[in-house]
Amino acid sequence: MESIAQNPWAALAYLVAGVCFILALRGLSSPATSQRGNRAGMIGMTIAVVTTLVTHVPRIAPPCPTGAICENYGTPVLDTLTLVELLAAIGIGAAIGIVTARRIAMTAMPQLVAAFHSLVGLAAVLVAGAAFLNPGAFGIANDGVIFLQSRIEMGLGVAIGAITFSGSVIAFLKLNGNMGGKPILLPGRHVLNLGVLVAILGLIAYFTQDQSPWIFWTVTGLSFAIGFLLIIPIGGADMPVVVSMLNSYSGWAAAAMGFTLHNSAMIITGALVGSSGAILSYIMCRAMNRSFLSVIAGGFGGDAGGGASGAAAVDRPWKRGSAEDAAFLMSQAEQVIIVPGYGMAVAQAQHVLREMADKLKAHGVRVKYAIHPVAGRMPGHMNVLLAEANVPYDEVFELEDINSEFAQTDVAFVIGANDVTNPAAKTDKSSPIYGMPVLDVEKAKTVLFIKRSMGGVGYAGVDNELFYRDNTMMLLADAKKMVEEIVKSLD
């Protein structure tokens, strides 16, 4: 096996791949350049995979002819069998990825991301396990004794990978509806979590002095357990932050395994994913008024007392409107701000919503879209859906760029966005979402709010007092059907 130090071309190829990954992150920072960023990432990964195959597939000497002097006979060639096995594995993985990407609905994208994060974590655990069982094959041991730095990398890699795997599995189950979205609060969970984390760190330190198998596998088992314990206390409303946090964990796990495998591409990629995921988690925490440290500790938001406000207060007076009412109000407006949320994603209403916006613009109405950072169940969920419907990028605005415009807006059209429009976040200190920045839709002259029924609540489990404001008109129906009715009325 040829090392990178012996092959400067491989080092150069990995450097080019790293640059491509950086360009990919830069491109993905904006919807307008996201396709370019995706292409850069694909090119970088192709370069990294091909380089790894070329430099790491074993070479074997050709068979020695009978009667010949076989010492140093012939030029070593690639081990064809190993190459075929690797290409077959890549082909199977590529087929699964292509089929999944083509079939997955946009509403299921958050749980798909969580599932993929779990696979990254599991891969890190398997690589660490293989390296521990056969360190000589990885070049990290001398006479069976694993090098000190490799033990540190291996211990951290298997711990972070196991936490990522089990935590992502729980996040997937919550997002997919297989587990309830409410926090599962274990008695003394903070003490339990802290104890397990201290035990993991202590065993990793001990592993640097003693490579006994029981230490390594105990670290692995405890790490699987703490991933489970950290995520189950987190409620469904906080899942966007959890997804970005697990994304960061998967990156650090990959970086740790990159050191074990002596693969600079994995180190670069893992560090980029880990650091960008941590930055994104911090941004999400600010958008939800959460503490970054409480995200890492797990169970943030679980102690909030307002979440018990549960069922909507349907005994309060509210106004119901029709598609015809909504069409008339918006067609007479100078400006309409559309606020999409997860309800739009569930109904797959983004295409007909863009059609409605086009008809409003034909009536001379100025149309804008307001996106909350945590609308939906993962960062950027609404941006992706609107881009899928070919909504112009210059009509889409983030919270801080458009919040001041609601007071001068004739109609705020809210489609399936609940918690991120709840005024209680600014006024009710007992609410679990108190302090979370929200869109100031209540300041618009008229608020049209599409919702299936008055009996449900948002993902945070609290009632939205916006429903009962004098300037709010409730449009109770499936989001897609209601918008289709509005489009017909506009005609």
Q: Which residues form the catalytic set? A: 419
Amino acid present at 50: V
CA distance 339 to 414: 5
Which of 306, 293, 302 minimizes the C-alpha distance to 233?
302
In degrees, rounded to 5, the angle at the alpha carbon of residue 279 between the alpha carbons of residues 42 and 34 is 35
For strands 141-142 and 145-146, give the pairing. antiparallel
CA distance 169 to 172: 5
Cα dist. 109→24, 281, 414, 420 in Å?
A: 20, 18, 22, 20
On the CB side of 109, CA atoms within 13 Å amount to 20
Interacting residues of 63 by C-beta distance below 8 A, sequence separation 6+: none
CA distance 205 to 155: 9
Residues in the chain: 491
Task: List Cβ<8 Å contacts ≥24 apart for 67-71.
Answer: none
CA distance 87 to 78: 13
Could you report how far apart the first and last alpha carbons of the chain are, in Å? 69
CA distance 438 to 146: 53
Residue 78, strand partner residues: 59
Contact present, 223 and 200 (Cβ < 8 Å): yes
Contact present, 124 and 157 (Cβ < 8 Å): yes
